Chains A and B, each alone.
Chain A
Amino acid sequence: MNITEKILARASGRQKVSPDDVIFANVDKVMMHDVSGPGVIKVFDKLKKQGINVDKLWDPTKVWVAEDHFVPSPDKVSAENIVKLSNFTKNYGIEKHFKYGMGQYGICHTLSHEEALVLPGEVYVGGDSHTNTTGALGSFACGLGHTDVAYVLLNGKIWFKVPHALYFKLNGKLPEHVMAKDFILKIIGDISTEGGAYKTMQFGGSGINEMSVESRLTLCNMTTEAGAKNGIVEPDQKVVDYLTSRGASNISLVHGDDDAEYEKIYEYESSELEPVVAKPFSPENIVIVREAPSVELDKSYIGSCTGAKYEDLVAAATILKGRTVKIRTEILPASISIYKRAMENGLLKIFLDAGVTVGPPTCGACCGAHMGVLAKDEICISTTNRNFPGRMGHIDSQTYLSSPLVAAASAVTGKITDPRDLK
């Protein structure tokens, strides 16, 4: 069995599982945020009307809640949702509620690793499609909707069809100017936005071993854009150290068997990879940066669960140090812990000196909701994960997806720019 099958077998009390088996897996951790949370509360209200008992959760200690999509609240409806969420966590005894304006808070997927909320080998589900991110810790991490999260909150388990697995092998360490974002965009360009549908996307090889945990998080984060059920990397000492330094203990690693089976194996050479962008309006619309269209950009956005982890900010800072941005540029660290480190290590000064506006952690602009949406015909380069029509604002705006290095280099020139070509 591969690592995903091993985790799902353990969680469903079976010796062995195979692709297409339908199982009920016991869940170790579950997450909801200020969009899926109120959706779950609505499901609870419907269940109550049907006479189903919703008085107690299966285990409130295994639940955490993030405020990330509509913070700071842009309007009354959003503010009411935060109040609803707070009442829910209070009533059901959920202690891990990361509140905007009260110390550590941030994008749910970022908290999952920054706060060591999920451990290797666990089954983790969340009310958000990018829950896949956390598979980089060697866990089975999968996004679900409101009804399914409500079911997990009450029953502690959920059904899955065991996925077929695709294995992406990366040989050799990534070159300095190429980031994990470039690699995963390249993969999505190769297999399409449906190429991983219902499947596991597993990453391995010497290039992955060399990668930081944060880079692996970027890979798994965007498996969602290929339609995957989960993304996963076999955990190693780097993962153990990363989680231990954030307070985790009792970490036990699950690994795939030597004779693990994969539906297909893809092999990539690091030395052949280049900085790329995904053109509007699909993450599979890939072109290498040096062949990208020569468009006048209006904005550069460095934010989100995909592209505002600490190492993403460090990458942006290496470009922005001593330079000035030519277009509207926003950097939003993905959590307060990352924000603080960026402050302590001088990154915020570099950004502010370059003319960047630094904002609080939020999903707002990434999903076109608030905090800097795009106007009609505006063109943005962004470290986020999706560039569907209207994703970041007006239906006639455009988004190019890129790595933080490319987004920062493009902020300096106002055009889509390969960091190697920056003077």
Chain B
Amino acid sequence: MKGNVIKYERDNIDTDVIIPGQYLKVHDYAELALHAMEGLDPDFHSKVKEGDFILSGRNFGCGSSREHAPIALSHSGIKAVLALSFARIFYRNAVDGAFLLPIEIDFDAYSNISDGDELDIDIKTNEIKNLTKNKVYQMKPFSDIIGKIIESGGLFKYKPD
């Protein structure tokens, strides 16, 4: 999975900035995408491209349980969010709804990867190749059930053992 990075060098990117409260009444996925990241980066919609990744710090997606957040990012074209850590409801919404991959990385990868870098992510080998900088990082492997739900294509397609 190849894509370019949009980097937000900060912690605690919350669901209110990912998709502000006034849009909670909206359930049209394309319309939600128009307002993704509006609370932090009003230019996001014009710069995001299909297949891009977001890179950010700790506790990404903290706050509300609104599934609008991974939906808005996913329908903007974001395939994965790479972060130092994730808030729990955002994480499970992203996985159970099969909207995008929440990928935990370490601080070295976080600080080394720059805005605009092209990455190639392989969740089978847990390798993240930085094609721009010619470097390789390791992602934190998905836990057993998370890996299986991702492989199945979401919670509804997952068959518990």
B59 near A193 with CB under 8 A, answer yes
B96 within 8 A of A: yes
Given contacts A194-B85, A197-B85, A197-B87, whether A144 and B65 have CB atoms under 8 Å apart is: yes
Main secondary structure, interface of B, reads loop
Interface size classification for chain B:
35 or more
Given contacts A81-B25, A197-B88, whether A146 and B97 have CB atoms under 8 Å apart is: yes
Main secondary structure, interface of A, reads loop
**Which parts of B85-104 form the interface with A (CB within 8 Å)?**
85, 87-89, 92-93, 96-97
B85 near A367 with CB under 8 A, answer no
A129 near B64 with CB under 8 A, answer yes
A151 within 8 A of B: yes
Query: In the assembly, what is the distance between CA of A278 and CA of B65, in Å?
Result: 21
Given the complex, which residues of B lie within 8 Å of A143, measured CB to CB?
65, 89
Interface size classification for chain A:
35 or more
B24 near A367 with CB under 8 A, answer yes
B22 near A368 with CB under 8 A, answer yes
Minimal Cβ-Cβ distance residue in A for B86: A197
B156 near A145 with CB under 8 A, answer no
Minimal Cβ-Cβ distance residue in A for B95: A147
A238 within 8 A of B: no
Given the complex, which residues of B lie within 8 Å of A145, measured CB to CB?
65-67, 89, 92-93, 96-97
Minimal Cβ-Cβ distance residue in A for B16: A388
Given the complex, which residues of A lie within 8 Å of B87, measured CB to CB?
194, 197, 227
What are 8 contact pairs spanning A and B, CB under 8 A?
A24-B160, A39-B27, A70-B25, A81-B27, A146-B97, A388-B16, A389-B39, A390-B16
Q: A128-B64, A148-B93, A194-B59 are in contact. List 16 more A-B contacts (CB 8 A).
A: A22-B143, A38-B25, A43-B97, A50-B156, A52-B156, A78-B25, A129-B64, A131-B65, A143-B65, A159-B145, A193-B12, A368-B16, A370-B22, A390-B16, A391-B21, A395-B39
